[in-house]
A and B are shown apart, each in its own frame.
Chain A
Amino acid sequence: MSKTATHEAVKSGAAHSNGTAGTVKSGFASGFVLDFEKPIVELEHKIAEMRTLAESSGMKNLGVEIDRMQKKAHRMREEVYSQLSRWQKVQLARHPRRPYTLDYIERLFSGFLELHGDRAFGDDHAIVSGIAEMDNLKMLVIGHQKGRGTKENIYRNFGMANPEGYRKSIRLLGLAEKFKLPVVTFVDTPGAYPGLGAEERGQAEAIARSLYEMARLKVPILTIVIGEGGSGGALALSIADRIFMLEYSIYSVISPEGCASILYRDAAQAPQAAESLKLTADDLLELGIIDGIIPEPKGGAHENFDETAQSIKLRLLDTLPELLREPSDQLMEARHRKYERIGYFLEA
């Protein structure tokens, strides 16, 4: 039952291949490793090799050495991950092995029924949405969906939605209100798609309408930024009563590359732009833009899908019942006050 989302994606043409990726522990096994992950991953690989050797040869004395190496790996990890630069967090947020919306949906819900289409133009595969059940909680779920590998990424348009994606989301918000379902959104997109068709079909209008409808929705909305929060395309799914970010996710008005090419006329200055933009979960909590941070396993969400999903689940179970108890007029009032307060200015 929990595999509905995955199966459906496969049926409709996507090579959704990551159903088991959650159990993958070593980055080496599935390829992509970031520069700063490398020494740790290499050491862990060596530990795994020694463990195999110890088991097969029965050399008991290797245990001490394995222990020592494991402590070292742990220390390295602590050290690297306690002082990540903003740019390193950008890389983690975009990690090709990072769990995506459907990976969480699969792990969080006992039942998920994906619902397609905007009833006007088409179905946008860069946004997935549907009705879901978690224990006794029923809800509507909407999220950006990136793809893994070239074929699936093309199918998902790299998580960059067209107007029909936002209009599908708006349509389903209507269902949520009608059936008094809380809404959970997962944000993970480089941005709204900047293409000919997108402009032709009113990308700006679709995003603006989404902001408007979420602002006045009478049921609770909870947003979790799970990877990349790319500008207006991310905002369009995140007008919410509570916004949480995964520890190594980012949320920015413009991509560091885009910012660098405008300000320094050089996209290679992106690391520096990332520092300036203050786009990490810590930054945004401090700026009062988000309500909390959901911790990731050491090494990042991609090191353990199940553990990350569990942390998200705890936060949902912690927050949703409380929001559901609020009368809808008070809920909306509080949502409005929260956004009205955002701004830094002085007045003579």
Chain B
Amino acid sequence: MALEWFRRERSVISPEQKKSTTDALWIKCESCSEIVFKQELEKQHLVCPKCSFHFAMEGSAYIAMLADEGSWQETDSTLRSLDPLSFKDSKKYADRVTASIRSTGKNDAITIGSCAVGGFPAVLGVMEFSFMGGSVGSVVGEKIARAVDHAIAADRALILISRSGGMRMQEGMVSLMQMAKTSVKLTQLGEAGLPYISILTNPTTGGTTASFSMLGDVIFAEPGALIGFAGPRVIKQTIGQDLPPGFQRSEFLLEKGFLDRIVHRSDLKPTVVQALRVFMHSKVHA
């Protein structure tokens, strides 16, 4: 009971904290409760200088961090979801999509484009959790498919940054089939001998994890990220007991053998470049 109360208390506070991330000069760290100067935090790619807690970071910030200056070119940005099921709950799916487009300024839950990363040609995709929880439907599936085609056509590496709650149930089986579609496409990338670097951030769960996120030639994760197939709540319901501390976090997955490395955000670009240097040795004609 006490634990439940504590959780509720925290979740009441946390929207406020989120708000303060955008408004105030000072921010209280969600993890260590230290007060940190916002400018300082931004300089550190939203990693707490006191405890290394990785705050959620927007897609555009990952692109700025990974892509060489001036190299980023977004592609396929106008793709928008249709409503194959005419799905309706309290709101129509079509209206939900429109509202998300308005509130995020994005057309769906992934941004893709081409860029150079440490001089290596790459296609980079970054998922947008703010768009319907980063859920995967037709548009995310199609954009990943095109990212693979683009990588194969131009001898580029593929880098995907996952942050997603899973498949988008408003698209029903069409969304489940995006797991199949992206996996099919990744076999083509593999056949072409091009590297796929999968980077998992907090949270990556459901069908996203059970398809393209777990199919990287190498899989990196940010520290402390929740990564799993079933969500913690569902597991807790199923087994009827509390989950052990640290369960389904990056450190747990590394220990169990499902990640290649945990990479601190400030090391992400150098680590990716190091991998590309080795994997792309036969592809780059220097």
Chain A residues proximal to chain B, CB less than 8 Å: 192-196, 198-205, 207-209, 211-212, 215-216, 231-232, 235-236, 239, 251-254, 259, 262-264, 276-279, 283-284, 287, 289, 335-336, 339-340, 342-348
Contacts and interface: CB of A to CB of B under 8 A. Distances in A.
Contact of A232 (B89, B190, B229): B229
Given A194-B235, A199-B229, A263-B89, A212 B188 contact: no
Given A194-B234, A204-B214, A348 B176 contact: no
Contact of A340 (B89, B139, B185, B209): B185
Given A194-B230, A205-B210, A253-B167, 4 more contacts: A204-B210, A212-B186, A287-B172, A289-B174
A205 B212 CA distance: 10
Residues of B in contact with A, size category: 35 or more
Contact of A212 (B178, B215, B228): B215
B9 to A, nearest CB: 21
Interface string B81-108: 1111101111000000000000000000
A201 B256 contact: yes
A348 B169 CA distance: 24
A278 B172 contact: yes
B88 A276 contact: yes
Contact of A216 (B172, B187, B210, B227): B187
B139 to A, nearest CB: 5
Tell me which of A215, A279, A287, A336 has the highest count of chain B C-beta atoms within 10 A of its own C-beta: A215
Interface string B238-277: 1100011001100000001110000000000000000000
B256 A202 contact: yes
Given A235-B176, A278-B173, A340-B181, A208 B80 contact: no
Interface in B104-129: none
B247 A215 contact: no
A193 B244 CA distance: 18
Contact of A345 (B81, B89, B230): B81
Interface string B185-219: 11110110000000000000011011111110000
A301 B284 CA distance: 58
Nearest to A238: B180
Contacts of A336: 184, 187-188
Contact of A205 (B141, B214, B235): B214
B229 A252 contact: no
A202 B235 CA distance: 14
Interface string B121-164: 00000000000000000110110010000000000000000000
A239 B247 contact: no
Closest 8 A/B residue pairs (Cβ) = A194-B230, A343-B138, A211-B183, A204-B209, A348-B78, A204-B229, A208-B214, A207-B210
Given A204-B210, A276-B88, A287-B84, A345 B79 contact: yes
A252 B85 CA distance: 12
A232 B179 CA distance: 8
A277 B89 CA distance: 11
A202 B258 contact: yes
B171 interface: yes
A287 B169 CA distance: 15
Nearest to A192: B229
B228 to A, nearest CB: 5
A212 B183 contact: yes
B185 to A, nearest CB: 7
A33 to B, nearest CB: 29
16 contacts: A199-B247, A203-B230, A208-B183, A208-B214, A208-B215, A211-B210, A212-B186, A232-B206, A277-B172, A277-B173, A283-B173, A287-B172, A339-B184, A343-B141, A343-B142, A346-B82
Nearest to A166: B210
A194 B235 CA distance: 5
